[in-house]
Structure 1
Amino acid sequence: MATIEFITREDLESFKQELFAELRRPSFRPPKQEQQKEWLKSYEVRKLLGISANTLKSLRDNGTLPSTKVGGLIYYAYEDIRKLMEPKK
């Protein structure tokens, strides 16, 4: 049978004090915001746009989305993807 544990005000106060002490510690660094990469691989573009591999190939083939091939990998500039997602005026 499961045991039930209660959290008291004193428990919460103690936790708060420990948390603030940890945050004030000089070596504590909050995680940095991940910067957007300049070039994305095909799988990243498909995930970002929510499209299939065939749709991405069509966008590449008809010139809607420029790409660069390096070795066997195809890369897309984030700026081009951003422009593609902007509403047309």
Structure 2
Amino acid sequence: MTLNELITKEDLKAFKAELLEEMKSILSPVKAQRKQWIKSQEVRTLLDISPGTLQNLRVNGTLTYTKIGGILYYKQEDIQKLLDGKGKP
């Protein structure tokens, strides 16, 4: 493009549409992924259990967890196994 070329509103609209489509194609795989790690409150809601029951699951090794900065995280796949009945609390 040379200095004497003009960019019209139509050019900008076409660029916007093309850019949005490219961004959607890049972000689509990211949206499709489930969260890999979830916090205690979400686990309790999913399993419909009390904080004490969740603690018992951690203590007896039924449910593994990772602690980062005082927050406990659980693997989504481990929670799914419990929901599917493979080690149900």
Question: Is TM (by shorter chain) over 0.5?
Answer: yes
Give the Cα–Cα distance (whole angstroms) in 2 for the partners of residues 34 and 43 of structure 1: 23
Secondary structure of 2:44's match? helix
Gaps of 5+ in 2: 1-16, 21-27
Give the Cα–Cα distance (whole angstroms) in 2 for the partners of residues 34 and 51 of structure 1: 28
Secondary structure of 1:54's match? helix
Who is 1:57 aligned against?
A: 55
Who is 1:41 aligned against?
A: 39
Q: Which runs of 4+ in 1 moved over 2 A?
A: 32-36
**Structure in which a larger fraction of residues adopt helix:** 2
Partner of residue 70 from structure 1, selected from 54, 68, 71: 68
When normalised by structure 2's length, the TM-score is: 0.58
Partner of residue 81 from structure 2, selected from 79, 83, 87: 83
Gaps of 5+ in 1: 1-25
Aligned length: 60
Alignment RMSD (CA, Å): 2.0
**Percentage of identical aligned residues:** 54
Residue by residue over 1:8-55, the C-alpha shift from the partner in whole angstroms, topping out at 9 and shown as x without a partner, is xxxxxxxxxxxxxxxxxx89xxxx977531100000100111100000
